[in-house]
Structure 1
Amino acid sequence: MTSSLASPASPAPAVDLSSAKILLMAVACGVIVANLYYAQTLIDVIGPEIGMSASVAGLITTLTQLGYGLGLFLIVPIADLFENRRIILGSILLTIAGCTGIALSAGPTSFLIASIVTGIGAIGAQVIVPLASHLATPEKQGRVVGTVMSGLLFGIMLARPIASFLAGSVGWRATFILSAVAMGIVAVALLAACPRRTPKGGMHYGAVLASTFAQLVQHRVVRLRAFYQAMMFAAFNLFWTAAPLALIHDFHLSHTGVGAFALAGAGGALIAPVAGWLADRKLTRPASLIGLAGLTIGFLLADWTVAAGSLIGFTIMAVLIDAAVQMSQITGQKLIFSLDPHARGRINAAYVTVMFVIGALGSVIGSVTFEAGGWSASAMAGAAIGSVATLGFLLFDRGASVAR
């Protein structure tokens, strides 16, 4: 198969995206990526109903994330080969099919297969982000990407409390049906309003896949930013694995209270437009350092607030940690998307895959450290991860994070 299947037209020129279109892309990212997390908080409800043992129930999260990882490698890079909006709409249809399959599942096998399909389809969010970068004018690129990424982070943060609320009120199956309906509405809106972008093409699909991780070899800034963000994402996952346990054990909150804490913590996503504004003014290096150092400081202060019994302080630290992760993410994507307009899909795929694979270990670290030494051990682990990333930045970055 050659790229002749794609239009040979040049990439669409940057346009002055309206606020409504930027908001639509942000909402689409959040609605799509949330499907990776709905089932995680409902395992204890879903398992018994479909005959899934506790030992197998853990596969719900694992296989959904595995599907997402496969999609990152196999589908996201073809954003450099085929018309982007078509890829996004196709991924949404796949996610709708996965959510519907989950809702109709009668047993573990059908549920887990549908979970994989849902994970693969959720990669549409990772096509929207570089598309937004393509369509934005250079002077607004950081802010546009920041706003779209804030939608993605809101989707991650709000998925669990929304799933818990809906499962308690209308049942877990209806939760996935409602998600499928929401995805359908988003698809119609994107079909009507999302600009088209046909890439230059000129490569075979196999060559596109082969060149994806070659971007890591070719571009030092991609390697470094993938490392920084992998550390940040690991710390993020560690926090949101261990923090609910701390809220239950140290503050004696109910699951509803934990959900309210997560809603408050999602406020960190509001830093995204600020991060984008800084990136557009070529302040990527100081913004990066603020994010990396802010993560470390956030974990140290979070340890102190829990020890002091301050729930308000702990909530503020949750916002700070989320904001730090977002600051690093936005500045990093501003830098890597500036490298090669014709390879943004592949660059983003390589970057996000490294971030995702390494960052996923954070959940394991969070569970293990909390079991070993409570919240203090988890907080110290998070601070250590942040310190490693900050030290790596100070020692090895050497101008890589300076906007050109």
Structure 2
Amino acid sequence: MSVPSPTPPAPTVGAAGQNLSAGLTALFAVTCGVVVANIYYVQPLLADIAASFQVGMGSAGMLVTVTQVGYALGLLLVVPLGDTHDRKRLILSLLALCVALLLAAAASPTFLTFAAASLGLGVLSCAAQVAVPFAASLAPDHSRGRTVGTVMSGLILGILLARTIAGAIAHYAGWRAVYVTAAVAMVVLGLLLARALPADPARPRIPYSRLMASVLHLARTDAVLRWRSLMGALGFAGFSVLWTGLTFVLSDAPYHFDQATIGLFGLAGLAGALAASRAGRLADGGHAHRATGLFAAACLGAWLLMALLAPVVPWTSLSPLGSGLVGPLVALTAGILLLDVGVQGLQITNQSIIYAGNHGARGRVTTVYLTTYFVGGACGSAVASLAWDHGGWLAVSGTGGAIALALLGCWLLAHARRQDG
């Protein structure tokens, strides 16, 4: 892929590689996980937040969309600055502002003020995606995919464990305590990063208008980036359909699970973190196309499993424990695991490909890819809320299956045009 960029090339591979130790790679991974968790704490808390502010579940469900829209705005408007500004200083500034908004969310007196704080948190949490290309720029070429996979494994764990942690804290201390705890975690993380992150090499400044114009030019001229962005958006749309719809189905009859129990379902997706690491190695080995097809097929298989076997009818005759809920929950858990493997493996494969070149424009590549990605996620959350209101779980799983089919179609079409990287 060729990218027109007014920035100079990145530092040489040898120099970059020497700056990225195993410990620093781990810190990048932790950073991504802790920061991106701010976006996902709300998902298992929707029922409690709706009750606290006396709004309907449909309105509460839109908080997920609002936060993801904010994240997309941060990716679009802030992340490109990483190509021309000191990334260490940028990350630390975003974290400091995150602390303020987490505390504002915890103290929100009305639903609208909480929604506004959620939007701002989404914007500022783009700090995670300043960190990913920062780590990629420090890694040598031969292991860049593995480095991205490791760092993104931390981000994936943050996405998954955010639900579990938020559910547990809210169960014992209320949903507002979740945001206070998150603010403390961000302060600790900021102190660690201030000490450990290397100095970012100085680069010529570019006027902001020219920087944003180059983002648009990149999106228009790089076909591989466009296809990979579209596939990523479809994958994450399906992921968001699941996790928005799952909160509704598990808090409703016949389950009536509390936040802590709903949050535990996030643990079923830990296999996605393992898939992320493996996907980076496959991309480094030249198997990105085959891996993409396998991960897309896993997404479709997951939705078929959840649509056919999830909690639609009682399964008393199939339950060894005598409960009609065990069979559907086993199927649901298996589907969550498979979908996470597919979505997270696809994500790492995509990012490994788009970071393979573009040495002077990785921030802008991240902007194009992940803005598209999280717009897809926001659309998935919104569609999930509508599907649940109109047809319950069957409509939710049907929506997810249709998205997975579209993903497979994009993979085949991009390969036929030789534009899949």
The verdict on a shared fold, with TM-score over 0.5 as the criterion, is: yes
Contact 2:62 2:385 in 1 (8 A): no
Separation in 1, partners of 2:297, 2:206: 41
Shift of 1:110: 4.6
Residues 117/372 of structure 1: CA separation in 2 closer, same or farther (3 Å cut): closer
Deviation at 1:70, TM superposition (A): 2.3
The residue correspondences of 1:274-293 to structure 2 (distance < 5 A) are 274-293=278-297
1:204 counterpart (179, 202, 207): 207
Please list the CA deviations of residues 210-255 of structure 1 after superposition, one character each: whole Å capped at 9, or x if unmatched.
2112211111011000111111111111111223444455862513
* Cα offsets for 1:183-208 (capped at 9, x unmatched): 11111111222223336335212111
Distance 1:71 1:292, change over 3 A: same
| Distance in 2 between residues matched to 1:91 and 1:339, nearest whole Å | 27
Counterpart residue number, 1:363: 381
Residues 163 and 175, structure 1, Cα contact 8 Å, conserved in 2: yes
Map 1:123-202 to 2 at 5 A.
Answer: 123-198=126-201, 200-201=203-204
Amino acid in the other structure paired with 1:368: L
1:97 to 88, 97, 100: 100
User: Are the structure 2 counterparts of residues 250 and 305 from structure 1 closer, same or farther at C-alpha, using a change threshold of 3 Å?
Assistant: farther
Query: Sequence identity, in percent?
Result: 37
Normalised to the residue count of structure 1, the TM-score between the two structures is: 0.89
Q: Which residue of 1 aligns with 2:90?
A: 87
Tell me if structure 1 keeps the 8 A contact 2:160–2:266.
Answer: yes
Write the deviation string for residues 270-317 of structure 1: whole angstroms up to 9, x where unpaired.
Answer: 211111111111111111111111111221122233266342232122
Residue equivalent to 2:420:
401
For the residue of structure 1 that corresponds to 2:187, the secondary structure is: helix
Which segments of 5 or more consecutive residues in structure 1 lack a partner in the other structure? 1-6
Aligned ranges 1:331-370 → 2 under 5 Å: 331-370=349-388
- The AA in structure 2 aligned to 1:400 is Q
Within the alignment, does 1:387 sit opposite 2:405 as a pair? yes
User: 1:90 and 1:386, CA in 2 relative to 1: closer, same or farther beyond 3 A?
Assistant: same
2:221 matched to which residue of 1? 218
Does residue 25 in structure 1 map to residue 28 in structure 2?
yes
Contact 2:43-2:243 within 8 A present in 1 as well: no
Q: How far did residue 91 of structure 1 move?
A: 0.8
Indicate conservation of the 8 Å contact 1:251/1:311, yes or no. Answer: no
The within-5 A match list for 1:257-296 is 257-296=261-300
The letter for the 1-side match of 2:179 is F
CA distance in 2, matches of 1:248, 1:45: 10
CA 1:169/1:232 → structure 2, altered by over 3 Å: closer, same or farther? same
What is the distance in 2 between the residues matched to 1:384 and 1:224?
18
Cα 1:359–1:10 shift into 2, 3 Å:
closer
Sort the Cα spacing of 1:278 and 1:107 in 2 relative to 1 into closer, same or farther, 3 A. Answer: same
2: CA distance, partners of 1:305 / 1:82: 51
Match of 2:318 in 1: none
- Which residue number in structure 2 is paired with residue 3 of structure 1? none
Matching residue of 1:15: 17
Q: Per the alignment, in what secondary structure is the counterpart of residue 282 of structure 1?
A: coil
Q: What number of residue pairs does the alignment pair up?
A: 395
Question: Does the residue aligned with 2:179 lie in a helix, a strand or coil?
Answer: helix
CA distance in 1, matches of 2:328, 2:205: 58
Tell me whether 91-100 or 107-116 shows the greater mean CA deviation.
107-116
Shift of 1:171: 2.9
Q: Which moved more, 1:209-218 or 1:90-99?
A: 209-218
Instruction: Give the whole-Å Cα distance in 2 for the aligned partners of 1:324 and 1:339.
Output: 24
* 3-state SS, counterpart of residue 15 of structure 1: helix
Query: Helix, strand or coil: the match of 1:207?
Result: helix
Do structure 1's residue 37 and structure 2's residue 21 form an aligned pair?
Answer: no
Q: Cα RMSD over matched residues?
A: 2.6
Output the CA distance in 2 between the equivalents of 1:257 and 1:108: 24
Please give the alpha-carbon distance, in whole angstroms, between the structure 2 residues aligned to 1:276 and 1:77.
24
Change (3 A) 1:194 1:223: same
TM-score (norm 2): 0.86
Deviation at 1:9, TM superposition (A): 9.8
